[in-house]
Structure 1
Amino acid sequence: MTDATTAPNRSCHQNPVPGLPLHDLAGFTHRWVDAEGIQLHAVESDRTAGPTVVLLAGFPQTWWAWRKAMPGLAERFHVIAIDLPGQGHSDRPQESYDTHTVASRVQAALTALNVPKYWLVAHDIGAWVAFSLALKYEERLHGVALLDAGIPGITLPDSIPTDPDRAWKTWHFAFHLVPELPETLLAGRERDYVDWFLKAKTLYPNTFDGAEIAHYAAALAAEGGLRASLAYYRDAAESARKNHDALGRGPLTVPVLGISGSHGSIPDMAASLSPWAENATGVVIPQAGHFIPDEQPEATVDALTAFIDHKRVG
Structure 2
Amino acid sequence: MTDVEHHYAQLSDVLMHYVTAGQGPQTLVLLHGYPQSWYCWSEVIDRLGDRFRIIAPDLRGLGDTSRPVSGYDKKTIAGDVRELLHDHLGITQYAVAGHDWGGTVAFSLAADDAEHVTHLAVVDVAIPGDGNPNIGAGGKRWHHTFLLTPDLPEALIGGREDIYFNWFFDNYGHRPDVISAEARAEYLRTHAALGSLRTGFAYYRAVEQDVRDNQSRSEKLQMPCLAVGGTAKWGRGGEVAASLRTMAVEVEELLVDDCGHWVPEEQPDILSEALANFIEA
Fold similarity call, TM over 0.5: yes
**Structure 1 residue 265 displacement after superposition:** 3.2
Does residue 97 in structure 1 map to residue 72 in structure 2?
A: yes
Does residue 251 in structure 1 map to residue 233 in structure 2?
A: no
Of the three residues 81, 97, 104, the one matched with 1:121 is 97
Of the three residues 246, 255, 267, the one matched with 1:284 is 255
SS in 1 for 2:111: helix
Does residue 30 in structure 1 map to residue 6 in structure 2?
A: yes
In structure 1, stretches of 5+ residues that fail to align are 1-24
Q: Matches of residues 299-314 of structure 1 in structure 2 within 5 Å?
A: 299-310=270-281
- CA 1:155–1:232 in 2, change beyond 3 Å: closer, same or farther? farther
Does residue 203 in structure 1 map to residue 174 in structure 2?
A: yes
Structure 1 contact 191–214 (Cα < 8 Å) conserved: no
**Structure 1 residue 287 displacement after superposition:** 1.0
Distance 2:34 2:262 in 1: 10
Match of 2:213 in 1: 242
Q: Deviations over 1:241-267 (max 9, x none)?
A: 011112x2x111111100011214322
Scaled by the length of structure 1, the TM-score of the pair is 0.85
- CA 1:91–1:241 in 2, change beyond 3 Å: closer, same or farther? same
Partner amino acid, structure 2, of 1:126? G
**Structure 1 residue 157 displacement after superposition:** 4.5
SS in 2 for 1:31: strand
Structure 2 contact 75–109 (Cα < 8 Å) conserved: yes
Partner amino acid, structure 2, of 1:289? G
Aligned residues: 278
Structure 2 contact 24–49 (Cα < 8 Å) conserved: no
Structure 1 contact 65–293 (Cα < 8 Å) conserved: yes
Distance 1:280 1:228 in 2: 31
Q: Deviations over 1:16-54 (max 9, x none)?
A: xxxxxxxxx751100111222311111001x33310000
Of the three residues 193, 196, 200, the one matched with 1:229 is 200
Partner amino acid, structure 1, of 2:243? S
SS in 2 for 1:151: coil
- CA 1:300–1:155 in 2, change beyond 3 Å: closer, same or farther? farther
Scaled by the length of structure 2, the TM-score of the pair is 0.94
Distance 1:87 1:159 in 2: 21
Does residue 272 in structure 1 map to residue 247 in structure 2?
A: no
Q: Matches of residues 117-156 of structure 1 in structure 2 within 5 Å?
A: 117-154=93-130
Q: Once the two structures are aligned, what percentage of the paired residues are identical?
A: 35
Match of 1:85 in 2: 60
Q: Larger radius of gyration, structure 1 or 2?
A: 1
- CA 1:84–1:155 in 2, change beyond 3 Å: closer, same or farther? farther
Structure 2 contact 127–135 (Cα < 8 Å) conserved: no
In structure 2, stretches of 5+ residues that fail to align are none
- CA 1:156–1:171 in 2, change beyond 3 Å: closer, same or farther? farther
Structure 1 contact 261–292 (Cα < 8 Å) conserved: yes
Partner amino acid, structure 2, of 1:86? G
Q: Deviations over 1:38-79 (max 9, x none)?
A: 11111001x333100000010110000000110111111101
Match of 1:172 in 2: 143
Distance 1:161 1:239 in 2: 16
SS in 1 for 2:127: coil
Distance 1:209 1:159 in 2: 27
- CA 1:99–1:113 in 2, change beyond 3 Å: closer, same or farther? same
Partner amino acid, structure 2, of 1:115? I
SS in 2 for 1:44: strand
- CA 1:187–1:304 in 2, change beyond 3 Å: closer, same or farther? same
